[in-house]
């Protein structure tokens, strides 16, 4: 098996397992698909990478080189973007509970844009920025009150969501007025993000209509509109994502249609996908250790688990996998892929048909590129895996495997 034209066995020999492998060519082609199709003659467009999906220096740098803007949610992500040489004017600082220190840090590092979550935040910004000459373009996150058809844990737009100004709230008008009067802030427009891993077009279209409906209530010109991310990817054969060229064109057409029918103009349209940019480009390689047969189950135990991929335990997320170099062997064993953490929920794949495997065979889990490494932990003092990017036969180590000393570096007796 090869990824990015590199033999998987070579990667395992050089970097051991568990190992996150990213096919950089795939990331580049998804970005190109978005960029080639998410454009219009009537306004400028930008694609932000929601870096929570994969927040590491290599990816910040790659995103910058690919001409993406960046959605950051914490001081940690902003610091990483800065360290990686990201063009900070293109950073959008998101989040529902930004701290004063983070705001000042964003100012110091030259972050260009803030996406405001709530009225309290506007008051905090007024206070923190008043004696500074920091300046931010500002968008406001609107909770449009539509829930996307996806797993309930990752729905973000119901009326009581912790994210954004609810679309019917008077706070929106108060906040816009305060922002418009503020010397440190320039109001640019609204933002909405309706959820994640969405396969249904309808939610996105409703979001655009609702946002135009909201803009119509104001008597000034809006400049920007940000439609968030959430475009689904393929984890298993059951997943049927909307192709990215299609979803891009659909959003552009819908915005043009709304501009025509309402007479409201915008000059810049943004989207902020995370999962779709890195998800299918990522693979996790594990070494199979012990095999165990119980009364009703056959386990293949792997040398990682919920510490490097919490998604199955947290969201009942489904993945597909193969035993490396046995992809075309007969798949006659129904097996459970379980990790080595001390939790019965530490299962990466509950039931999958695989060929006969033995100790030291390599298992590859597909589509682990989004929210895998970035949500990894040191539970049971497991080491965070190494991460490599492969592109056209070249391998780049983006992140070393943690050492046991790294694990205890901040601790004292
Ligand atoms: N914009 C905002 C404001 C967001 O909150 C998110 C994701 C995105 C963009 C990117 O969404 P994407 O295109 O990646 O779906 N940990 C969960 C996903 C949580 C998503 C959080 N927000 C998971 O592993 O499925």
What is the tens place of the pLDDT at every residue in 226-240? 999 999 999 999 999
The structure's pTM equals 0.96
User: Which residue puts its alpha carbon closest to atom 19 of ligand 1?
Assistant: 154
CB of 273 sitting under 6 A from ligand 1: yes
Q: Are strands 113-116 and 136-143 parallel, antiparallel or unpaired?
A: parallel
CB atoms < 10 A from the CB of 259, how many? 18
Of 103-112, 122-131, 198-207, 365-374, the one with minimum mean pLDDT is 198-207
For 196-324, where are the alpha helices, taking DSSP H only?
201-215, 244-262, 275-278, 311-315
Q: Which of 116, 127, 133, 225 is nearest to 176 (CA)?
A: 116
CB of 37 sitting under 6 A from ligand 1: no
Confidence class of residue 151 from pLDDT cuts 50, 70 and 90?
Answer: very low
315 phi and psi, to 5 degrees?
A: -120, 10
Rounded distance from Cα 319 to ligand 1 centre (Å): 18
* 146 or 92, higher pLDDT: 92
pLDDT for the residue numbered 53: 98
pLDDT for the residue numbered 157: 54
Q: Can you tell me which atom of ligand 1 is nearest the CA of 196?
A: 15
pLDDT for the residue numbered 324: 97
**Mean pLDDT, residues 89-106 taken together:** 98
pLDDT for the residue numbered 266: 98
Mean pLDDT score of the chain: 96
Is 69 catalytic? The answer is: no
Q: Which CA distances in Å does 111 have to 49, 125, 136, 303, 378?
A: 15, 14, 7, 40, 31
Q: Can you tell me which atom of ligand 1 is nearest the CA of 372?
A: 24
DSSP assignment letter at 239: -
Whether residue 152 has pLDDT greater than 60: no
Asked if residues 271 and 251 have their Cβ atoms less than 8 Å apart, the reply is yes
Whether residue 259 has pLDDT greater than 60: yes
CB of 229 sitting under 6 A from ligand 1: yes
Options 72, 336, 342, 399, the catalytic residue: 342
Whether residue 154 has pLDDT greater than 50: no
Q: Which of 134, 110, 139, 105 is nearest to 122 (CA)?
A: 139
Q: Can you tell me which atom of ligand 1 is nearest the CA of 151?
A: 25
Confidence class of residue 370 from pLDDT cuts 50, 70 and 90?
Answer: very high
Whether residue 93 has pLDDT greater than 50: yes
Of 22-31, 140-149, 303-312, 330-339, the one with minimum mean pLDDT is 140-149
CB of 276 sitting under 6 A from ligand 1: yes
Angle at 205 between CA 55 and CA 317, to 5 degrees: 45
Q: Which of 27, 46, 51, 52 to mutate to test the pocket of ligand 1 (most atoms within 8 A of CB)?
A: 52
Confidence class of residue 297 from pLDDT cuts 50, 70 and 90?
Answer: very high
Whether residue 41 has pLDDT greater than 70: yes
* 154 or 166, higher pLDDT: 166
CB of 71 sitting under 6 A from ligand 1: yes
Rounded distance from Cα 272 to ligand 1 centre (Å): 9
Q: Can you tell me which atom of ligand 1 is nearest the CA of 317?
A: 25
Rounded distance from Cα 155 to ligand 1 centre (Å): 9
Question: If you write DSSP's letter for every residue of 291-313 in order, what string do you get?
Answer: EEE-SS-EEEEES--TTT--HHH
pLDDT for the residue numbered 158: 64
User: Which residue puts its alpha carbon closest to atom 24 of ligand 1?
Assistant: 371
CB of 272 sitting under 6 A from ligand 1: yes
Q: Which of 69, 193, 194, 234 to mutate to test the pocket of ligand 1 (most atoms within 8 A of CB)?
A: 193
207 phi and psi, to 5 degrees?
A: -60, -45
Rounded distance from Cα 148 to ligand 1 centre (Å): 13
Q: Can you tell me which atom of ligand 1 is nearest the CA of 141?
A: 3
167 phi and psi, to 5 degrees?
A: -60, -25
pLDDT for the residue numbered 161: 82
Q: Which of 319, 152, 327 is nearest to 239 (CA)?
A: 319
pLDDT for the residue numbered 150: 54
CB of 275 sitting under 6 A from ligand 1: yes
Confidence class of residue 145 from pLDDT cuts 50, 70 and 90?
Answer: confident
DSSP assignment letter at 241: P
Summary count for the chain: helices (H), strands (E): 12, 20
CB of 23 sitting under 6 A from ligand 1: no
CB of 230 sitting under 6 A from ligand 1: yes
Rounded distance from Cα 349 to ligand 1 centre (Å): 22
User: Which residue puts its alpha carbon closest to atom 16 of ligand 1?
Assistant: 371
pLDDT for the residue numbered 149: 59
Q: Which of 310, 304, 309, 302 is nearest to 282 (CA)?
A: 309
Whether residue 277 has pLDDT greater than 90: yes
278 phi and psi, to 5 degrees?
A: -115, -15
Asked if the peptide bond before residue 359 counts as cis, ω within 30 degrees of 0, the response is no
């Amino acid at each position: 098996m090869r990824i990015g034209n590199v033999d998987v066995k070579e990667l395992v020999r050089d970097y051991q397992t568990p190992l996150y492998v990213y096919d950089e060519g795939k990331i580049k082609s998804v970005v190109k698909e978005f960029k080639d199709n998410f454009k219009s003659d009537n306004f400028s467009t930008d694609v932000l990478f929601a870096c929570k999906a994969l927040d590491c220096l290599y990816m910040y740098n790659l995103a910058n080189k690919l001409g993406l803007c960046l959605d950051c949610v914490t001081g940690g992500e902003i610091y990483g973007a800065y360290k990686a040489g990201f063009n900070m004017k293109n950073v959008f600082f998101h989040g529902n509970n930004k701290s004063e220190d983070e705001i000042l840090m964003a100012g110091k590092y030259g972050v260009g844009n803030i996406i405001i979550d709530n009225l309290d935040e506007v008051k905090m910004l007024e206070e923190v920025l008043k004696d500074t000459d920091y300046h931010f373009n500002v968008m406001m996150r609107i909770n449009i009150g539509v829930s996307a058809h996806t797993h309930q844990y990752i729905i973000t737009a119901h009326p009581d969501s912790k994210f954004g100004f609810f679309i019917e709230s008077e706070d929106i008008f108060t906040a816009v007025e305060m922002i418009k009067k503020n010397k440190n802030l320039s109001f640019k427009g609204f933002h909405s993000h309706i959820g994640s891993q969405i396969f249904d077009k309808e939610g996105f279209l409703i979001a655009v209509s609702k946002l135009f409906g909201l803009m119509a209530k104001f008597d000034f010109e809006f400049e920007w509109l940000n439609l968030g991310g959430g475009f689904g990817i393929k984890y298993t054969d059951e997943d049927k994502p909307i192709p990215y060229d299609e979803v891009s064109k659909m959003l552009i057409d819908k915005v043009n249609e709304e501009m025509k029918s309402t007479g409201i103009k915008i000059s810049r349209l943004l989207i902020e996908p995370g999962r779709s940019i890195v998800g299918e480009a990522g693979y996790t390689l594990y070494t199979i250790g012990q095999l165990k047969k119980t009364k009703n189950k056959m386990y293949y135990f792997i040398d990682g688990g919920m510490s490097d991929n919490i998604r199955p335990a947290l969201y009942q997320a489904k993945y597909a996998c193969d035993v490396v170099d046995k992809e075309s062997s007969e798949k006659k064993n129904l097996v459970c892929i379980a990790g080595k953490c001390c939790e019965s929920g530490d299962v990466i794949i509950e039931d999958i048909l695989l060929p006969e495997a033995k100790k030291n065979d390599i298992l590859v889990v597909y589509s682990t590129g989004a929210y895998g490494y970035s949500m990894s932990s040191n539970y049971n003092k497991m080491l965070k895996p190494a991460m490599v990017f492969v592109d056209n036969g070249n391998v780049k180590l983006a992140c070393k495997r943690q050492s046991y000393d790294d694990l205890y570096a901040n601790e004292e007796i």
